[in-house]
Copies of this chain bind each other. A is one copy, B any other.
């Protein structure tokens, strides 16, 4: 997804176009990996020295809410990445050194639902951690 597509999606949902949001989206479009919230803050501060924590966190959660970003917890910190909606539901290998990800086109839930009769599945998480070929 590119920045304009994302902003268009926001507009449809009634959100305004702001310089801060553009800048946040740019960062994610440029980097195909999970990024910690504080990293985003640092980057944005280059262009907007006075950005508020509030602005960053509110937008990251909002963007996750409208499925533009995906969120996960790595090392006790919330991380975000651009949702890869070009292909369907999938999971990720995440490099513990550089943070880059590799898509895993396989979802364990497909073959598991028969074992969960009576259980109401709301969500699931499947992540693989390790070293990518470059960092290995």
Contact = CB atoms under 8 A, between A and B. Distances in A.
Interface of A: 73, 76, 78, 93, 96, 102, 104-106, 108-109, 111-112, 115-116, 118-133, 136
Tell me the number of copies of this protein: 2
Contacts of A104: 112, 115
Contacts of A116: 93, 102, 128
Contacts of A136: 118-120
A34 to B, nearest CB: 14
B118 A129 contact: no
Given A131-B120, A133-B118, A133-B119, A126 B108 contact: yes
Contacts of A105: 115
Given A73-B73, A104-B112, A112-B106, A124 B129 contact: yes
A124 B126 contact: yes
A130 B126 contact: no
A105 B106 CA distance: 18
